[in-house]
Structure 1
Amino acid sequence: MTVKGVKVMVQFLTKLNLYAVFYILLLFVVSVSCCMCGRAEYSIIESYPDLIEIKNIPRSPDDLTCRCFCDLGSWYGYALPPDTGSGVNYLGSFVGPYSVLSQRWVSPSLLRLKFFFNGEERSMQHARREIHYYPGYLLQRFEFNDGISIEEKLFFASSYQAVLLVDVVNGSRRDVAFSLELTQGGLFDDFSFDTSFAIPVLKAENGQFYFSTNIHLLGIDSISKSAEKVVISSDRVCIKKGRKLRFYIVQVCITDRESKDYMDVSGNKSVSELFHATVDRWNVYLKSVLRNCERSKKEIAVKALLTLVNNWRSPEGAILHNGIIPSYHTGYFDGFWAWDSWKHAVALSLFDIELAKDQVRAMFDYQDSSGMVADCIFADSSRNNWRNTKPPLAAWAVWEIYKRDGDKSFIKEMIPKLLKYHYWWYRYRDYDRDLLCEYGCCDGSKVAAVWESGMDNAVRFDSCRVVKTSDISWSLDQESVDLNSYLYFEKIILADMLNEVGFKKEADKLAKEAAVLKNLINTKMYDPSEGYYFDIDSETDEMCKVFGPEGWIPLFTMVAKREFAFRVREHLVDCKKFNTHVPFPTVEVCNANFDPDNYWRGPVWVDQLFFGIKGLRNYGFFDDAQILREKFFRNAKGVSDKGEPFRENYNPLTGEGLYAEDFSWTAAMVLLMCQRDF
């Protein structure tokens, strides 16, 4: 070969080598990127630990100072042990479960674990430890000085299956013999074990539900059982140095022990696949709620997400679809309420569109032949309330869901039901047939008639009477501006829906009805001397001059004339009326009946705050809306604080949280207000 040829060959090989090096580097970068992406998926979840405080141990079955973690619509949940005080005795174990169906804790710990290495129990108190509630799972991790570590992750594989995934890593210098002891005991009253099974089943004395527990990938050496206590001891397993042992425990809660296989864990998926499916689902949830979330509101938004999912319940008994209860933390809030559901559905559409749709369907499962939707429904249908319904916000919920995914089949499914419900109001709640409706009831009681407004003891209803309008219906003698504003909003939305699916004639009819109603509201329910909207007497049209949330609802529904909206805005920004320490109270603070702690006679309800702030934005008062929203986030105690629950309502003067904790519609409205474009 000539010198020139050698030079050409060297140049070629040099280039080839450079390409090879580049290719290897590219593969390295891609592989590292993939690893980093996988880690990033976890880091999203791990960026939001302990936003709700669930490190607690119940002192009694009805100890509602304790919180728990639920997922996938489970009717039961678990908590973490505190890592201080007496809680250290439960380290490595999981607290509960708490049964939402019976509204009771079953035990301080039905997953009480002891870990043995070479025959000696390992005390978790002497380990370096991490204990966290992450979105989607509970974590306990322990590291010992000899290199042994234990990691436990508890998550839900379905609405009735909780899985405890355990990894034991032998990082020591020698092989170890490992064994496990699982103790189920410390039962509170009304619970006992049925020992007729090979592995005893825990049952509630009233037969409402059963708990079954089994260990997988670890052999059973012995079972000691009685009605009060079950102790399962595993075989000894050798863990080679540098190796890992993985096993898992499945705890199943079912209401019909013949209906499901206790031990089956979601078909053919491995436990690793089930856990990764949980991580993937929660990453979708987090990305969805954070995509358009203001940076300063991200932790608040995730706390709201967690609150909603903790209150998610699957079909059970007479409840036929998934939905959100108001609060698992309050005993009587274990069903679905109509106007809670509509608000929940709007927030759910941000991260789980199918759950949002189910929330709406769950209530329309209880629409009667006349078109009425029940006030609230329960797994035990004898508890359903048909004495009244709730304000008509269902069409708003359906429309907001549709705007998220464009699923016309859903609005086609819902339109007939929504129309039937809409016109029910005019048949049964407009007794003088003047096209302005009243709240009312089906049993003749004033309390139920006022409940229908959702504002149970509002000052504006103090002087109302109940008027019988037919054999099955009664109305208050007061036409409410919020109710008619919602009905206007429904006409506009229903017209839009009908246009979307090609029913122009029907849409035009509703649009004309909306125009008539808009004129009635603005001529009969707005007082130009006060610059505010009021309820009116059904017979005399005299205004009920109580300044409350009903007066700003016309801004939310966009029925208000622009010049009227400007006047209403003046009241909302007035520190002597509604612009309190926490805006907006449910009656102006200068009203003689104002009581900052009395339900709808003063406290701030976050749905009404949302409607007011959204109403200001609708009419271009963006600066006012922003200032008032930030004032709420800053002054409502616990809302922006890690570990603190959302409350049912708030004292407008002090910011103290009031009534129920872990309240879903507060979480729903907060989640919406965390979005940049709400």
Structure 2
Amino acid sequence: MDNVYKNKILFRMKTLLAAFLVVCCSLQASPLSQLSREDAPQSAKYYDSYGNQQANPLFDLGSWHGFLQPKHENAGSFAGPAIVFEEYTLYFAEYIEMLSIAVDGGEYQRLSELPSSISSELGYYKQTFTTNSFNIDVYLSFVSTRSSVIDTRISNLTEKPLNLSLKWQGQLTKHWKSDDDDYIWQVTPQISSQAIAWQFGQTRDTWHKLNDSTARFKIARSIAFKSVFNPVEPSYRSTSALTVSPANSKLLTTVISYTHNQHESDSEDVKINAWLNSEKPAYLNAKTRWQSLVNKLSNQHSEQAKRLAIKSLETLVGNWRSPAGAIKHNGITPSVTARWFNGVWAWDSWKHAYALAEVMPELAKDNVRAMFDYQITHKDTLRAQDSGMVIDAVFYNYSKARGGDGGNWNERNTKPPLASWVVWQIVSKSNDEAFLAEMYPKLKAYHEWWYLNRDHNGNGLIEYGGTVDDTHTTKEGEMRFSVQANTQLAVLASCKKGKDNWYLCSGNQLYLSLLDNSQIDAFDIPVQHAAGWESGMDNAARFGFISNEQFKEYANQTYQGDMAKAKADWQVKIFENVRDGQLVGYSINQESVELNSYLAMEKRQLAQMAKRLGNNQDAQKYQAEYQTLKARIDACFYDSKTGFYYDLAIDNAPQSPSECKGKLLVHRGKGPEGWAPLFSQVASTENAKSVINTMLSEHEFNTHVPFPTAAITNPAFGADVYWRGRVWLDQVYFALSALSHYGYKKDAQQLLQKLISNSKGLSQKDSIRENYHPFTGEQQGATNFSWSAAHLMMMLDEIGLPESSLGQH
């Protein structure tokens, strides 16, 4: 037997053994992605009916670009990339790096024409192509916050040298939204023997695309090549040659990067050269890293739970964005595929970080810091009166008020006070005393802000509201609002008439004088929207939101059609909050049971933190405040007739810290705010039992997919309405935690199983959605939604599935 033939046999045996070991290891320790990763984007805005970018591209390590696996006809390439252009995700290409090979000067053959297998592993993609003469393995994984790598290993299975001609092709997207909407990318190609790059022309389109004039997408390879860019197609083609010796293999490395500006490009280029010269395939690091993450997930006893926990983790990591622009720390965004969600929000961040506290503690800490980076201080030039507040949303670009040109940055409101909740969870899991010491004074300042700027009557019970902001307040300090009146009224003389009989007005006194005017058909108050956002439940029934048809039905059933009386029940008043003669913000005229429950829980957690830090004075102070507020929540927000908790409507008069005069908003129906005292563990056992009876009733909240955001009996309930019927998984988590806290854990486990079984796609490879239809389980809202993923991880960990389901597959 000659040496060449012997080497060939040995090489084939090694190849088969390696393949066998890979399969075995995959079955034992390297599970597949639990998300469907294949698609073929046809336009930059490859939107579904909800405005989401279709498909579930792989993003990792905080990258700002991601890829899909191709459909079979495009095997040998990768679909995309999807690039986050500062604040908006767009598909830059239909595919890139489609590889074709010619042997010994013959015709090129696309890899898609060869026998192949394509798999989406955790953290990387794999494509394998096999012929009698050679084998090709192609892997894609991420190596940094800006770069991904394609490892291409070509193995010669013959006893003679394998002379190959290589051709890579890519096709940029040609349409903006549809086939009838042609789009030409404003790019300048930069071509060399080692790289092909596209530098984007500056775009500052606030609501569609934002990028610097030096933003760059680059493809660099470890082999010299020639490239041509066709601006008409638009497409590119690169060619090269390679010889692989008998019974041997060669590794080609391709580094792909997207950088926002020249500084990032210069920094990344140094790393790119190192990766191009590495002899170790990059995907191995991704494989090891992801296996380590999966090992940290709580031990789930059923295959269903394991798969769902992995899918949830994939979703959170996919929405991880590394520092860029105004985002100073790593953060988890709500969804990289949803049009408006490429920033970091306050209570979203608290939930994401809570779920990752044990699995990825450093990312969890950074996510918290990403929001506290912009905590308002007394030195702030724009809103010093809000010292202590954490703003609602942080994006790549500052708002115009902050000197930027972004439209998504938001300081009109904050979000519910769950910051101490997440910090205490992180500290409990990591024992990081330094992080606790770092965050404690910031949490104190945030907590005290609520009592300074959102307690209109001074009684220690807090309201949601809005900040002094250009959207809410004129330069003269008057509140902005709009009214619709089909009759021209003298009282509106100072207002500016707009379309459809809407008048743009300002002034709190004018606003209050119009509330009871029967000739005013509708109000639109920016502060009211901000208050809904501040609660996180944007258009909930308790904030006066109800459809016209539902309102008429309510008037007919409650007041025999008297619209004026019905209007008073659903009308929200806005109060100005003044401190030392200065307007510092606004409150709506209702003290929130949910908000005050969270604040009570925060007092308890601040007391625990202070004690751990050795600050006994603070510990005693916050513990005493906790006990007082806990008692007041039962006394002030519980309705014994209906056995449920509600917000309390107040008037403009001051009250003492022991008072809670007002009217419970029973007529606006039941909502998830009613179980907030149970989640926060401040409800009495007796009251909790009544609330739980309502929660478990199939006539109220126990629907096909349990816990809609309004009870079925709520006058404003709508199964497909954002916060008046759809099922949000954070509210499900709060509900199941509430049940568990008060001795109903088995019920909670059964309801968790019901949620997973009846929410379409949760147990399959569909993306995790923003919310679900309570009666049908239909998927609704944003795809790849982080806080849904976070709460699934939390529920699987803290609640668990019933024992009867642990053997299910």
Give the TM-score taking structure 1 as reference length: 0.90
Distance 1:528 1:623, change over 3 A: same
Kindly report which structure 2 residues correspond to 1:248-259, keeping only aligned pairs within 5 A, or say none. 248-259=253-264
Match of 2:111 in 1: 124
Query: Does the 8 Å CA contact 2:191/2:227 hold for their aligned counterparts?
Result: no
1:73 to 42, 58, 62: 62
Gaps of 5+ in 1: 1-34
Tell me the residue number matched to 1:331: 339
* Other-structure match for 2:460: 435
Contact preservation (8 Å) 2:78, 2:96: yes
- The residue number in structure 1 matching 2:500 is none
2:541 paired with 1:459: yes
Residue of structure 2 aligned with 1:54, choices 37, 43, 47: 37
Cα separation, partners in 2 of 1:457 and 1:576, compared to 1, 3 Å: same
After TM superposition, the structure 1 = structure 2 runs for residues 84-233 of structure 1, keeping only pairs within 5 Å, are 88=73, 90-101=74-85, 102-119=88-105, 120-144=107-131, 146-188=132-174, 189-195=183-189, 197-198=191-192, 199-205=195-201, 206=203, 207-208=211-212, 209-216=215-222, 218-220=223-225, 222-225=226-229, 227=231, 228-233=234-239
Match of 1:3 in 2: none
CA distance in 2, matches of 1:44, 1:587: 44
One-letter amino acid of the structure 2 residue matched with residue 154 of structure 1: L
Contact 1:161/1:265, CA 8 A, preserved across alignment: no
> Which residue number in structure 1 is paired with residue 677 of structure 2?
554
The superposition leaves residues 25-50 of structure 1 with CA deviations (integer Å, 9 ceiling, x where unpaired) of xxxxxxxxxx999987654564224x
Give, as a single letter, the amino acid of the residue that structure 2 aligns with 1:130.
S
Instruction: State the Cα deviation string for residues 414-441 of structure 1 (Å, max 9, x = none).
Output: 0011110001000000111111100000
* Candidates 376, 382, 389, aligned match of 1:372: 389
Closer, same or farther in 2 for the Cα pair 1:37/1:158, shift >3 Å?
same
Aligned partner of 1:665 in structure 2 is 787
What secondary structure does 1:250 align onto?
strand
Equivalent pair of 2:391/2:413 in contact (CA under 8 Å): yes
- AA paired with 1:68? P
- Aligned residue in 1 for 2:590: 478
Equivalent residue of 1:272, what SS?
A: coil
Select 2:531's aligned residue among 425, 446, 449.
Answer: 449
Is the 2:190–2:199 Cα contact (8 Å) retained in structure 1? Answer: no
C-alpha distance in 1 between matches for 2:186 and 2:700: 56
Cα distance per residue 1:73-118 (max 9 Å; x no partner): 11111111112xxxx1x11011111112242111101323222222
Answering whether residue 433 of structure 2 is matched by residue 408 of structure 1, we say: yes
SS in 1 for 2:576: strand
Matched residue type, 1:116: A
Instruction: Tell me the distance in 1 between the aligned counterparts of 2:773 and 2:173.
Output: 39
- In structure 2, what is the Cα distance between the partners aligned to 1:677 and 1:585? 19
- Counterpart residue type for residue 224 of structure 2: G
The alpha carbon displacement at 1:528 in A equals 2.1
Is contact 1:633-1:640 (8 Å) kept?
yes
Could you say if the C-alpha distance between residues 575 and 134 of structure 1 is closer, same or farther in structure 2, counting changes exceeding 3 Å? same
Q: CA 1:271 to 1:100, structure 2 compared with 1: closer, same or farther past 3 Å?
A: farther
How far apart are 1:66 and its partner, in Å? 3.2
Residue 230 of structure 1, CA deviation: 3.4
Structure 2: unaligned runs, 5 residues or longer:
1-18, 47-52, 175-182, 204-210, 378-386, 400-407, 473-478, 480-526, 545-569, 652-660, 801-809
Cα distance 1:676–1:344, how it changes in 2: closer, same or farther (>3 A)?
closer
* Structure-1 residue corresponding to 2:410: 385
For 1:134, give the aligned amino acid. Answer: E
User: Is 1:525 matched with 2:647?
Assistant: no
CA RMSD of aligned residues (A): 2.1
Distance, in Å, in 1 between the alignment partners of 2:772 and 2:602 is 29
The whole-number CA distance in structure 2 between the counterparts of 1:45 and 1:325 is 29
Q: How many angstroms apart in 1 are the aligned matches of 2:793 and 2:370?
A: 22
Identity %: 35
> Number of residues paired by the alignment?
634
**Given residue 378 of structure 1, which amino acid in structure 2 is its aligned partner?**
F
Amino acid at match of 2:271: V
**Residue aligning to 2:363:** 355
Aligned counterparts of 1:315 and 1:468: Cα–Cα separation in 2: 37
Following the alignment from structure 1 to structure 2, what is the Cα–Cα distance between the partners of residues 572 and 670? 19
- Output the TM-score relative to the length of structure 2: 0.75
Alignment of 1:261-410 (within 5 A): 261-265=267-271, 270=278, 272=280, 274-292=282-300, 294-369=302-377, 370-382=387-399, 383-410=408-435
* Aligned-pair CA distance for 1:620: 1.3
1:582 is aligned to 705
Closer, same or farther: CA 379–640 of 1 in aligned 2, 3 Å: same
Aligned residues of 1:492 and 1:510 also touching (Cα < 8 A): yes
How far residue 196 of structure 1 moved from its aligned partner, in angstroms, is 5.0
Question: CA-to-partner distance for each residue in 1:128-163, whole Å, 9 max, x for gaps?
Answer: 22112211111111112x142111110110010110
Stretch deviating more after TM superposition (252-261 or 326-335): 252-261
Measured after TM superposition, the shift of residue 505 of structure 1 is: 1.2
Query: Which residue does the alignment assign to 1:21?
Result: none
Letter of the 1:533 partner, please give it: Y
Q: Which amino acid aligns with 2:425?
A: E
Which range moved further: 166-175 or 583-592?
166-175
